[in-house]
Structure 1
Amino acid sequence: MPDRHRDARERRQRLLRWLPAAVIGCAVVIDVFVPTSVNVFPLLAAAPGVAAPLLSLRGTIATGVAANLAGLVLVEVEREPARGDLVPFTSLVLLTVVAAVLNVLLARDRRQLRTSREVAAAVQRAVLPDPPRRVGRLSVASRYEVAHEEAAIGGDLFAVHETPHGVRILLADVRGKGLQAVRTVNVLLGAFREACDHQPDLPGVVRQLENRVQEGAARATGAEAEAFATAVVAELPPGRSELRVANRGHEPPLLVHAGTARALEPAVPALPLGLGLLGGDGVPVDRFDLPVGATLVLFTDGIDEARDERGAFFDPAPVLSRPLPPDPETVLDTLLTAALRHTGGHLHDDAALLAVTRLE
């Protein structure tokens, strides 16, 4: 589904490539059909500059040559060329050279940014592998949408593990980006895996995550010493429909079932992981019913803080409040497609999404 938005962006880019030619054509039309004498050389001079960020180096130079030829033809049609015409034509040549240099610089920057994004995406996949498609009684789907404006490695993470105590789920958003965020992500993923094997209850899992984040911050310096993460930690015990959720300052997950999407708000707000020393020792755990066919949807703030061109935030609940198949892949495709449509085809911040559907 999100491929539609990529196709739309590609169509827009293809249309924009015709803009330099349209500028030259506009200059010719104005010169031919406007009865009074109008100097269209400023418009012709703009064509190479318009081409520089849109076309290749060859296309930029070709645009400059076409602008010069169009100007020469217009002069020949109207009158005999004069010595005074050397100034505008020389300016066109110089502007074409400047546009070509600008094109080379922009192309180099794009290559560097593309390489940075590819490296960031590769590291992200290595640090955060996709969970299995089925874990215990749950069908699982995940997405990681990288913001187009960013080339840094994000701090969003998710994990699903089957344990003797049930299926345990983690989705978190670490403060910051880059290597500092990656280290905290690794800490949380390792601590969650260890806690799933050794902690008999959900509060124990949360306390272990809290301790690991605090220990990592105590050994760090600079911004990493202030690391924290908002998180949702959930558990579905064996043979039961009771979903237990510990929300640590994160966006509430959505429970999608029977054509409605309901936010699972915590009864008692709790501080993010890493800031536990500022609050009490307790770990609030909320309990909800997760019937067969229901889907739990978790996401980071790249989704619900996505804005449209007017600055309005995206609300995921209405998008999922309609009949949907009990399939986590379809649910995430529907949500992500709507978010991308809301923002015009791209997100402004990384977004991690995780959906689990109870099968039995």
Structure 2
Amino acid sequence: MARLGAWKWVGKWSRLLPALLLLVAVLIDISTPRTVSASALYAAAILSAAPLLSLRGTVLTGVIALLVDWLLFRRFGYRWSAIAFSELIMVATVTVIAVFLNRVLYHRKMQLESVRDIAAAVQRAVLPRPPDRIGPLCFAARYEAAQADARIGGDLYVVVDTPFGVRCVIGDVRGKGMGAVRAVAVGIGTFHEAARHEPTLTGLLERLEQAVVLEAQQSGILTEFEGFVTGVLVEFPPRGNEVRLVNRGHPAPLLILGDTVRYVEPSRRSPPLGLGALDHSPACVDTMAFPDGATLLLYTDGLTEARNETGIFYDPTGVCTEHRHAGPDALLDALVADHCRHAGGRRADDMALLTITRVPNNS
């Protein structure tokens, strides 16, 4: 974190670098003998302006460097000498090059911003923000991609209001890149459609299993065991204060209830989606109480597999205990901040977080 803070400080003041280099060049030229020249610093000041300043700032830096260099030559009696002429030509040439580089960098920056805007639009389309509230249930979600410039990766979450209750899923697609993003889109689309028509969680699970296997086959996966998705399906029935869960090889959710924070481990381990051929036993649906004030935290392994500098994995229970009475958004903000501190700002895997809190109907 200290290193990140130092780089932020450097970035904040980096625009002063061209002026600082010009000032140092002038001081060297004034305080040293006539045979000593700071021409390299004039060139460095102009070239540093290209990525740090605007077109106007780059041109202005070059003009100032040219003018200052010419005035110093006059001061030392080199007004029209070959030495003065060649150095001034060099400064002017570097200015032209800096202007060219400034324009190239500007257009690449515009292209990058366009790509980021497209990525943001894709994220909103593929991974939309869940509703803030459905009946007595309040929701909050966060998505942190492993790549700094990416907006979406191989993790997913969905919240759907159905005739059978509110249904949610959080999942982690094996693999990286566009193949994982495509699998995310398939999984989300299947869940949206099947959640509204399958009356049971086991039926919904079968539909998701079929979709994952089909996507792996169409993607050219060599064996059926190379493409899979870990996930947790959650259902809140329309009546009663309970929650039903099916865990398919995913990290156990956290239940925050009163003064306790505990992991909700499945009563029976099951393989991830896409590996159903390894286990022919019926799906295990766990049911537990979910009264007013309870919060369920669903997350992907990008949260708990982050290590600090000593190799210790991140444990979210501490923050959940400290913020157990906070709202869903406040809890996730605290988790993301604490996770960043623990990992030193490094992120090796995508991280998706989804919290569900039950509040009284009159709240």
Tell me the TM-score range normalised by the shorter chain: 0.7 to 0.9
Is the 2:209–2:273 contact (alpha carbons within 8 Å) kept by the matching residues of 1?
yes
Deviation at 1:37, TM superposition (A): 7.2
| 1:7-156 matched pairs, under 5 angstroms | 13-32=11-30, 39-81=37-79, 82-145=81-144, 149-151=148-150, 153-156=152-155
Aligned to 2:275: 275
Q: Any stretches of 5+ residues in structure 1 without a counterpart?
A: 1-7
Task: Please report how far the alpha carbon of residue 115 of structure 1 lies from its aligned counterpart in structure 2 after TM superposition.
Answer: 0.9
What are the Cα deviations for residues 191-248 of structure 1, in whole angstroms up to 9, with x where unaligned?
2234434445434433321121102222343699954323222233455554443333
Aligned partners of 2:126, 2:83: CA distance in 1, in Å? 65
User: Which amino acid counterpart does residue 50 of structure 1 have in structure 2?
Assistant: S
Aligned position for 1:352: 352
- Please tell me whether residue 299 in structure 1 is matched to residue 299 in structure 2: yes
Stretch moving more, 35-44 or 291-300:
35-44
Matched, 1:174 2:173: yes
Equivalent AA in structure 2 for residue 47 of structure 1: A
Q: Distance in 2 between matches of 1:46 and 1:349?
A: 39
Greater shift in the superposed pair: 277-286 or 213-222: 277-286
Structure 2 distance, partners of 1:222, 1:108, is 38
Over 3 Å counting, the alpha-carbon distance change for 1:282 and 1:59 in structure 2 is farther
Alignment correspondent of 1:336: 336
Task: Check the 8 A contact 2:298/2:353 in 1, yes or no.
Answer: yes
User: Which residue pairs with 1:158 in the alignment?
Assistant: 157
Q: Contact 2:248 / 2:273 at 8 angstroms: preserved in 1?
A: yes
Separation in 1, partners of 2:105, 2:311: 29
Which residue in the other structure is 2:3 paired with? none
Contact 1:326 1:357 in 2 (8 A): no
Shift of 1:304: 4.8
How far is 1:276 from its partner? Answer: 3.0
8 Å CA contact 1:235, 1:244 repeated in 2: yes
Give the secondary structure class of the aligned counterpart of 1:157: strand
Residue type at the aligned position of 1:100: V
- The 1:90/1:129 distance shift into structure 2, 3 A limit, reads same
Distance 1:138 1:195 in 2: 21
Residue identity in the other structure for 1:67: A
**Secondary structure, aligned partner of 1:321:** helix
Task: Please give the secondary structure, in 2, of the residue aligned with 1:150.
Answer: coil
Contact residue 52 and residue 60 of structure 1 kept, 8 A: yes
C-alpha spacing 1:22/1:359, structure 2 compared with 1 (3 Å): same
**Per-residue Cα deviation, 1:275-301 (whole angstroms, up to 9, x for no partner):** 333455454555555442132222345
Question: 2:187: which partner in 1?
Answer: 188
Give aligned pairs, total. Answer: 353
The change in CA–CA distance for 1:287 and 1:52 in structure 2 (over 3 A counts) is farther
Judged with a 3 Å threshold, the aligned counterparts in structure 2 of structure 1 residues 53 and 197 are, in CA distance, closer, same or farther, namely same
Indicate the residue corresponding to 1:3 in structure 2.
none
Q: Provide the residue aligned with 2:250 in structure 1.
A: 250
**DSSP 3-state at the match of 1:131:** coil
Q: 2:210 matched to which residue of 1? A: 211
Per the TM alignment, residue 320 of structure 1 is displaced from its structure 2 partner at its CA by: 3.3
Gap change, CA 1:80 and 1:331, over 3 Å in 2? same
Q: 1:33 to 1:115 in 2, by over 3 A?
A: same
Letter matched to residue 41 of structure 1: S
- Match for residue 322 of structure 2? 322
- Distance (Å, rounded) in 1 between the aligned partners of 2:99 and 2:35: 31
| 2:179 and 2:219 in contact (8 A); partners too | no
Decide whether the 8 Å contact of 1:259 with 1:323 is kept in 2: no
Q: Determine helix, strand or coil for the equivalent of 1:247.
A: strand
Greater mean alpha carbon deviation, residues 96-105 or residues 22-31: 22-31
| Residues in 2 aligned to 1:119 and 1:224: alpha-carbon distance in whole angstroms | 33
Deviations 1:168-211 (A, max 9, x none): 21112334566544442332123223443444543443332112
| Equivalent position SS for 2:52 | coil
Q: Does structure 1 retain, via aligned residues, the 8 Å contact 2:254–2:261?
A: yes
CA-atom RMSD in angstroms:
3.9
> Deviation digits for residues 120-141 of structure 1, max 9, x if unmatched?
2112212233222222431112
Bigger drift between 166-175 and 287-296 goes to 287-296
Specify the alignment match of 1:4 in structure 2.
none
Q: Indicate if the aligned counterparts of 1:255 and 1:262 stay in contact, CA closer than 8 A.
A: yes
Matches of 1:256 and 1:54 in 2, distance apart? 48
Name the TM-score, length of structure 2 as normaliser: 0.78
Larger Rg: 2
Question: How far, CA to CA, are the matches of 1:334 and 1:299 in structure 2?
Answer: 14
Instruction: Tell me the amino acid that sits aligned with residue 245 of structure 2.
Output: V
Letter of the 1:56 partner, please give it.
S
> Aligned AA for 2:65?
A
The Cα of 1:53 is off from its aligned counterpart by 1.6
- State the distance in 2 between where 1:70 and 1:307 align: 53
TM-score by length of 1: 0.79
Asked if the contact 1:136/1:162 (under 8 Å) is kept, the reply is no
